[in-house]
């Protein structure tokens, strides 16, 4: 099994800004730990970043101006910022696969399982899980690496992904331990 970690919308707008999830700050350390592990094992890290045009995006009708392309609010939070070895995919809709090159990138990386992290559990994470499922990827969600506006929406999103996309729900610690057993010792690589 070849994995990739997707970091979905861990942007200033959604972690500390107007559309923040209350639990977003709390998941930053777990995501950072998972990313360090992934990079040490050569597991690709892909950022799916909300990036909207100022006046023509349909999502702006629902949510108001947010994550406007090039704005400070559209930046990944400093604690999780991408490294040169990571990949960044810009998206204009909830699903990181929709009208982006994410699927092409993952196929070129020979990935067949995606580990989803980020926010919001019941919106962009759930829709990206749908996109992954429809394209034949196995979906893994460390529950302590995703968050939503409320605990109820978080739990609904998790249950939906488990029930309808066969998502494996786990914790980041359990996932890291399983991957260590599955993958063996970390390779010497450019990710270290």
Q: How confident is the model at residue 65 (pLDDT cuts 50, 70, 90)?
A: confident
Nearest to 146 by CA among 59, 45, 26: 26
Residue 45 pLDDT > 70: yes
Q: Which of 20-29, 30-39, 130-139 has the lowest mean pLDDT?
A: 20-29
Is the whole-model pTM more than 0.95?
no
Domain annotation covers residue 192: no
Q: How many domains does the structure of the chain reveal?
A: 1
Average pLDDT over residues 171-183: 97
Residue 190 pLDDT > 70: no
The residue with tokens 């006046």 is 55
Residue 171 structural domain: 3-183
Average pLDDT over residues 9-22: 89
Domain annotation covers residue 89: yes
Domain annotation covers residue 39: yes
**Mean pLDDT value across the chain:** 93
Predicted pLDDT at 32: 98
Domain annotation covers residue 115: yes
Domain annotation covers residue 75: yes
Alpha helical stretches, state H, 64-121: 102-108
The CATH number for 35's domain is 3.40.50.850
Domain annotation covers residue 36: yes
Predicted pLDDT at 64: 66
Average pLDDT over residues 116-138: 97
Cβ neighbours of residue 118 closer than 8 Å, sequence gap 6 or more: 6, 7, 8, 9, 10, 31, 48, 124, 125, 145, 146
The answer to whether 41 touches 3, Cβ cutoff 8 Å, is no
Predicted pLDDT at 188: 65
Q: What is the pLDDT of residues 80-118, one digit of tens each?
A: 999 999 999 999 999 999 999 999 999 999 999 999 999
Domain annotation covers residue 188: no
Q: How confident is the model at residue 189 (pLDDT cuts 50, 70, 90)?
A: low
């Amino acid at each position: 099994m070849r994995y990739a970690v997707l970091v979905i919308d861990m942007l200033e707008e959604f972690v500390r800004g107007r559309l923040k999830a209350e639990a977003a700050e709390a998941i930053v350390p777990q995501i950072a730990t998972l990313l360090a592990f992934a990079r040490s094992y050569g597991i690709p890290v892909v950022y799916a970043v909300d990036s909207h045009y100022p006046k023509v995006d349909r999502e702006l009708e629902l949510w108001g101006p947010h994550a406007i392309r090039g704005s400070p609010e559209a930046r990944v939070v400093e604690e999780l910022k991408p490294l040169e070895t990571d990949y960044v995919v810009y998206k204009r809709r909830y699903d990181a696969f929709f009208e982006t090159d994410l699927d092409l990138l993952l196929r070129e990386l020979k990935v067949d399982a995606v580990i989803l992290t980020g926010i919001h559990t019941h919106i962009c994470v759930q829709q990206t899980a749908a996109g992954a499922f429809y394209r034949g990827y196995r979906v893994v969600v460390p529950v302590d690496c995703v968050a939503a506006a409320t605990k109820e929406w978080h739990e609904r999103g998790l249950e939906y992904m488990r029930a309808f996309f066969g998502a494996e729900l786990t914790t980041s610690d359990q996932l890291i331990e399983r991957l260590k057993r599955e993958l063996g010792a970390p390779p010497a690589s450019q990710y270290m």
